């Protein structure tokens, strides 16, 4: 019997963003091969333009607004995926702005760097549409493998090499655990498409203990990716060792990608089994917030501090999931809250890293003490950093308050004691977090500079653009939260249940 392969129908409009991004990536790689050093100065600009070009089909898809299902439900382009793709692209664009001078100054390979960055970004925007265990896994690997390389990009620095190896080993281990979990899910339900897994659960397979084990493994695998306690141990070392723009990329985009997959799995796949994942998430959230914040208190290196604060922020982001199974309405709200948080977090965290990169260029150190008195030699950067830090702490009227507010809102709306309890844990944690954020701000404003050199800091145009974007977004989202809220009101549950 002849096995005839029939190409499934492809909605070209739906996959246009992926195709554009892929073409740009290929184009850049070809340029590098053909022109070698001559092409080098144009790489950053070309990648940036490529990302902007990718945004065009995204816009047309958004205006069109219909939900497009491809490959028998394995790949879906809906509002949820569009919003996240937009977040990924914007974050990727800012990371390119951050990288521009850093990579040149360090005399690192440049063309390859941007090629890898685009490849990783490609994995992320695929992740946003994946609704199938296999496409989720492929997207995950596509976004992770380039990231392993980029972490080790400062090849003459042993710390960077150590970080790369650590990240690689931990990442592969997490992938393996997750893959095992996926195989269990497949074994029970007999399908890899998430919505069909949901059907299988509804049909009575949900009570199987193998299913439970599968869910626990998959959630644990993504907990690695989003660096939730107790799966966070790789983060500080990797963040510290990696080139700082890559750290920014990991802490925002890569984390968001992990969240996206987790959301798709939970909401589309096993929403009905909330009795399994809700307690799991509750523990992860409470632990991440508390441990992340408490350890962050003791840090002296700002990048490590940002790593631990990122762990704590993960705890906040994941918290709404702990009550998402309460009702469909709560589930939708939890989803919106997490996406809102991701969008605002992307702006403020990238902004904070932009300031760190700029200041570290001058001080040559990432020790918090080297930022003392920054107000005297870099007033503009100090104001920007203050905005980002207090936004991260959730102080109105800066963007972060609305993100935190949304989390509290979901936790309170469930009306369950567990929800209130987590809200109180979160409230206490926002105070702890404020302590170290405010300490940094206070050092920058009130302390005397450690050096006598009071020359102002030179800021490159690309860094200025990155900072301007982040400050603007952080302020606008804080004062007019409706700007972000109208886009994040999306739902995955209609198709899931």
Q: Which residues bind to another protein, rule: CB under 8 A?
A: 336, 375, 379, 390, 393, 395-397, 401-402, 405-406, 408-409, 412-413, 415, 420, 423-424, 426-428, 430-431, 434-435, 438-439, 442, 445-446, 480-482, 485-486, 488-489
Minimum distance, C-beta of residue 462 to another protein, in the bound complex (Å): 23
Closest CA to 374 of 366, 383, 364, 382: 382
Minimum distance, C-beta of residue 446 to another protein, in the bound complex (Å): 5
Question: Closest CB to another protein among 149 and 485?
Answer: 485
Q: Three-state SS string across 322-350, please?
A: HHCCCCHHHHHHHHHHHHHHHHHHHHHHH
End-to-end CA distance of the chain: 39
Question: Closest CB to another protein among 144 and 386?
Answer: 386
Minimum distance, C-beta of residue 393 to another protein, in the bound complex (Å): 8
- Greatest C-alpha distance within the chain: 82
Minimum distance, C-beta of residue 46 to another protein, in the bound complex (Å): 35
Question: Closest CB to another protein among 106 and 379?
Answer: 379
Question: Closest CB to another protein among 149 and 475?
Answer: 475
Minimum distance, C-beta of residue 488 to another protein, in the bound complex (Å): 8
Q: Burial level of 452, CB count in 10 A (0-12/13-18/19+)?
A: exposed
Minimum distance, C-beta of residue 233 to another protein, in the bound complex (Å): 28
Question: Closest CB to another protein among 145 and 485?
Answer: 485
Question: Closest CB to another protein among 259 and 390?
Answer: 390
How far apart CA 329 and CA 322 sit, in angstroms, is 14
Q: What are phi and psi of 325, to 5 degrees?
A: -85, 0
| 176-205 exposure pattern, b = at least 16 Cβ within 10 A, e = fewer | ebbbebbebbeebbebbbbbbbbebbeeeb
Question: Closest CB to another protein among 87 and 150?
Answer: 87
Question: Closest CB to another protein among 188 and 410?
Answer: 410
Q: Which helix (DSSP H) or strand (DSSP E) does residue 313 occupy?
A: helix 302-318
Q: Yes or no: say if 412 and 333 are a contact pair by the CB < 8 Å rule.
A: no
Question: Closest CB to another protein among 13 and 409?
Answer: 409
Question: Closest CB to another protein among 90 and 393?
Answer: 393
Closest CA to 361 of 371, 372, 350: 371
How far apart CA 153 and CA 147 sit, in angstroms, is 10
Query: Which residue's structure tokens are 């095992």?
Result: 180
Structure tokens at 147: 């990231």
Minimum distance, C-beta of residue 261 to another protein, in the bound complex (Å): 25
Minimum distance, C-beta of residue 334 to another protein, in the bound complex (Å): 14
Question: Closest CB to another protein among 10 and 424?
Answer: 424
Structure tokens at 460: 């490159």
How far apart CA 426 and CA 24 sit, in angstroms, is 42
Minimum distance, C-beta of residue 470 to another protein, in the bound complex (Å): 18
Structure tokens at 374: 């920054």
How far apart CA 385 and CA 369 sit, in angstroms, is 15
| 211-234 exposure pattern, b = at least 16 Cβ within 10 A, e = fewer | bbbbbbbbbbbbbbbbbbbebbeb
Minimum distance, C-beta of residue 478 to another protein, in the bound complex (Å): 9
CA distances from 239 to 124, 146, 159, 233, 439 (A): 19, 16, 10, 11, 21
Q: Yes or no: say if 18 and 126 are a contact pair by the CB < 8 Å rule.
A: yes
Minimum distance, C-beta of residue 64 to another protein, in the bound complex (Å): 23
């Amino acid at each position: 019997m002849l096995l005839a392969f029939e190409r499934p129908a492809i909605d070209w409009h739906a996959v246009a963003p992926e195709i554009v991004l892929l073409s740009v990536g290929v184009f850049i790689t070809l340029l590098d091969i053909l022109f070698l050093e001559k092409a080098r100065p144009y790489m950053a600009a070309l990648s940036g333009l490529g990302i902007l070009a990718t945004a065009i089909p995204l816009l047309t898809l958004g205006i069109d607004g219909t939900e497009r299902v491809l490959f028998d439900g394995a790949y879906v382009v809906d509002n949820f995926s569009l919003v996240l793709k937009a977040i990924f692209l914007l974050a990727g664009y800012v990371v390119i702005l951050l990288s521009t001078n850093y990579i040149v100054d360090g005399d690192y390979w440049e063309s390859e760097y941007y090629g890898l960055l685009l490849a990783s970004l490609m994995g992320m925007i695929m992740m946003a549409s994946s609704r199938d265990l296999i496409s989720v896994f492929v997207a995950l690997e596509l976004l992770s493998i380039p990231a392993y390389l980029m972490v080790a990009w400062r090849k003459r620095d042993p710390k960077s090499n150590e970080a790369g190896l650590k990240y690689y080993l931990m990442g592969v281990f997490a992938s393996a655990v997750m893959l095992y979990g996926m195989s269990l899910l497949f074994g029970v339900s007999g399908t890899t498409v998430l919505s069909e897994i949901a059907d299988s659960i509804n049909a009575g397979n949900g009570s199987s203990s193998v299913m439970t084990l599968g869910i626990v493994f998959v959630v644990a695998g993504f907990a690695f990716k989003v660096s939730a306690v107790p799966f966070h141990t790789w983060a500080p070392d990797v963040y510290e060792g990696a080139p700082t723009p890559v750290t920014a990329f990991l802490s925002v985009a890569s984390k968001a990608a992990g969240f996206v997959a987790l959301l798709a799995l939970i909401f589309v796949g096993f929403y009905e089994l909330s009795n399994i994942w809700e307690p799991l998430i509750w523990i992860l959230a409470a632990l991440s917030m508390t441990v992340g914040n408490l350890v962050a208190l003791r840090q002296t290196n700002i990048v490590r501090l940002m790593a631990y604060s990122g762990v704590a922020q993960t705890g906040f982001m994941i918290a709404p999931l702990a009550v998402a199974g309460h009702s469909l309405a709560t589930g939708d709200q939890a989803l919106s809250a997490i996406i809102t948080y991701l969008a605002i977090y992307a702006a403020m965290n990238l902004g904070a890293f932009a300031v760190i990169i700029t200041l570290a260029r001058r001080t040559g150190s990432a020790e918090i003490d080297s930022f003392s008195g920054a107000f005297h030699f870099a007033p503009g950067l100090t104001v920007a950093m203050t905005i980002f830090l207090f936004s991260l702490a959730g102080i109105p009227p800066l963007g972060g308050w609305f993100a935190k507010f949304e989390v509290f809102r979901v936790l309170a709306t469930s009306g369950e004691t567990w929800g209130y309890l987590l809200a109180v844990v979160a409230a206490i944690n926002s105070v702890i977090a404020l302590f170290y954020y405010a300490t940094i701000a206070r050092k920058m404003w009130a302390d005397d500079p450690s050096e006598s050199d009071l020359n102002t800091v030179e800021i490159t145009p690309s860094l200025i653009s990155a900072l301007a974007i982040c400050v603007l977004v952080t302020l606008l989202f804080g004062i007019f939260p409706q700007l972000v809220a109208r886009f994040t009101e999306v739902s995955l549950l209609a198709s899931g249940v």
